[in-house]
C-alpha cells in the first residue's frame, strides 16, 4: 500500500469520484444543519418541527449518520431552516 494523498477523506474512501462528490455535498449540508441547530439552541424536537421531519431523524443527523440522508432531503431541511444553499461547479483538477 502506497502513500497516496487525497484532497478529501471522501476521495480516499469512496469507490468513484461521483460518490466522493456526493458525500462531500451531503457532509457540508449536515454540518451546516448541525451548526444551525447549535447556534439557535434548539432541542431535537424543535429542530424536527422546523425541518418537517421526526425527532429520530434529527437525532440521526446530529449523530452524523450520513448514509441515511440524500442530497434532496438535506437541501429541503436546510431551506425549511431558513438557510440558503448554493452549489459551485468547476472543472476537476
Q: pLDDT of 42-64, one tens digit each?
A: 999 999 999 999 999 999 999 99
Q: How many C-beta atoms lie closer than 10 Å to residue 24's C-beta?
A: 16
Residue-level pLDDT at 7 = 64
Query: DSSP class of residue 15?
Result: S
Domain 11-80: CATH class, spelled out: mainly alpha
Average pLDDT over residues 5-27: 73
pTM: 0.83
Domain boundaries, the chain: 11-80
- Measure the CA–CA gap between 35 and 86, rounded to whole angstroms: 17
**Across all residues in the chain, what is the average pLDDT?**
88
**What percent of the chain has a predicted confidence (pLDDT) above 70?**
86
Amino acid at each position: 500500500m502506497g502513500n497516496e494523498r487525497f484532497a478529501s477523506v471522501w476521495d480516499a474512501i469512496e469507490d468513484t469520484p461521483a460518490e466522493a462528490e456526493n458525500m462531500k455535498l451531503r457532509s457540508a449540508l449536515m454540518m451546516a444543519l448541525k451548526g444551525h441547530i447549535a447556534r439557535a439552541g434548539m432541542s431535537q424536537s424543535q429542530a424536527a418541527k422546523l425541518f418537517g421531519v421526526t425527532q429520530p431523524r434529527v437525532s440521526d443527523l446530529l449523530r452524523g449518520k450520513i448514509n441515511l440522508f440524500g442530497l434532496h432531503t438535506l437541501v429541503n431541511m436546510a431551506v425549511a431552516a431558513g438557510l440558503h444553499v448554493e452549489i459551485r461547479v468547476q472543472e476537476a483538477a
